[in-house]
C-alpha cells in the first residue's frame, strides 16, 4: 500500500468510527425515550388537538399508524436532540485540516447554527402551528367534523419543523458566503428584491397552500437575511485574513 493510500484509509476508518458513534448515540437516546412515545406524540399534536371541536379527535386510517407514528416521532426527536453531538463529530473530523483562523470562525458558527435550528423549530411550534391550525379548523364548514389522520399530521409537522429549522440557518449561510469571498455584504444588499421573491417562493413550496403559512415562513426568512447582512459587514473575507497572516 502506498504512503498516499494509507492516510486515505485512515480517514475512512475515522469517518466510519464517528458515524458509528453518532448512530449509537441516537439509538441510545431513542431507546430511553421510547417508553414515552405516546406522550411525545401528544405533545407534538397538541397545537391541533386543542383546537378540534369537542368530541372530535385524531384518527388512524392505517392499521400500523397507532404504533409507527409515535415511533417515528420519537426517533426524529432523538435525532434532533443529538444534533450537537452529530456536529461535534463532524467538527472533530474536519478540524485537523483547518487553519487557526478557520477554527476561530467555524466553532461559533456551528454553535449558532444548532441554536438557530432549535429556535426555528420552537418558532414553528409555538407561533406558526397555533395560527395555521386555528385558520384551518375554523375555516371548515359547520357540518364538517375535522378529524385529522395522525400520520398525515406528523408528516406536516415534520415538514414545517425542518422548513423553519433550516430557514433560521439563513444568517449562518449568509455569513459563510461573505467569509468565503463569494459575495460581499453590499452585493447581497443589492440583491434584496430577488431575495424577497425567493423567500415567498420557498414559503409557497414548503408550507401548506395558504398565504398565512407562506408569509409566516417568508417574512422571518427575509428578516434573517437582513440579520446576516448586518453581521456580515463585520466579517473579513478568508482571503484577506490569509494575506494578513502571510505578511506576519
Q: What is the pLDDT of residues 151-167, one digit of tens each?
A: 999 999 999 999 999 99
Grid coordinates given for 62: 392505517
Specify the DSSP class assigned to residue 208: -
| Residue with the three cell numbers 426555528 | 120
**Tens digits of per-residue pLDDT, 26-71?**
999 999 999 999 999 999 999 999 888 777 788 888 899 999 999 9
Task: Tell whether the model's pLDDT for residue 242 goes beyond 60.
Answer: no
d(CA 231, CA 171): 8
Handedness of CA 78, 81, 38, 72 (dihedral sign): negative
pTM: 0.83
Which of these ranges, 215-219, 224-228, 242-246, has the smallest mean pLDDT? 242-246
The neighbour count for residue 45, using CB atoms within 10 Å, is 22
Residues 6+ apart with CB under 8 A from 52: 58, 137, 146, 147
Amino acid at each position: 500500500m502506498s504512503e498516499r493510500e494509507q492516510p486515505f484509509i485512515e480517514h475512512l476508518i475515522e469517518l466510519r468510527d464517528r458515524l458509528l458513534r453518532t448512530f449509537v448515540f441516537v439509538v441510545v437516546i431513542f431507546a430511553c425515550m421510547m417508553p414515552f412515545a405516546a406522550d411525545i406524540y401528544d405533545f407534538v399534536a397538541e397545537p391541533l388537538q386543542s383546537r378540534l371541536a369537542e368530541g372530535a379527535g385524531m384518527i388512524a386510517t392505517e392499521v400500523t399508524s397507532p404504533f409507527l407514528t409515535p415511533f417515528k416521532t420519537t426517533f426524529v426527536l432523538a435525532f434532533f436532540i443529538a444534533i450537537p453531538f452529530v456536529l461535534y463529530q463532524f467538527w472533530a473530523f474536519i478540524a485537523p485540516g483547518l487553519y487557526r483562523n478557520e477554527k476561530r470562525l467555524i466553532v461559533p458558527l456551528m454553535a449558532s447554527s444548532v441554536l438557530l435550528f432549535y429556535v426555528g423549530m420552537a418558532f414553528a411550534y409555538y407561533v406558526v402551528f397555533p395560527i395555521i391550525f386555528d385558520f384551518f379548523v375554523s375555516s371548515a364548514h359547520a357540518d364538517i367534523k375535522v378529524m385529522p389522520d395522525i400520520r398525515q399530521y406528523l408528516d406536516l409537522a415534520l415538514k414545517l419543523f425542518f422548513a423553519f429549522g433550516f430557514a433560521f440557518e439563513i444568517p449562518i449561510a449568509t455569513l459563510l458566503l461573505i467569509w468565503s469571498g463569494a459575495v460581499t455584504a453590499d452585493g447581497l444588499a443589492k440583491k434584496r428584491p430577488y431575495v424577497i421573491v425567493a423567500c415567498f417562493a420557498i414559503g409557497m413550496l414548503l408550507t401548506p397552500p395558504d398565504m398565512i403559512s407562506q408569509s409566516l415562513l417568508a417574512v422571518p426568512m427575509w428578516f434573517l437575511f437582513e440579520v446576516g447582512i448586518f453581521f456580515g459587514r463585520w466579517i473579513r473575507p478568508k482571503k484577506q485574513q490569509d494575506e494578513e497572516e502571510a505578511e506576519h
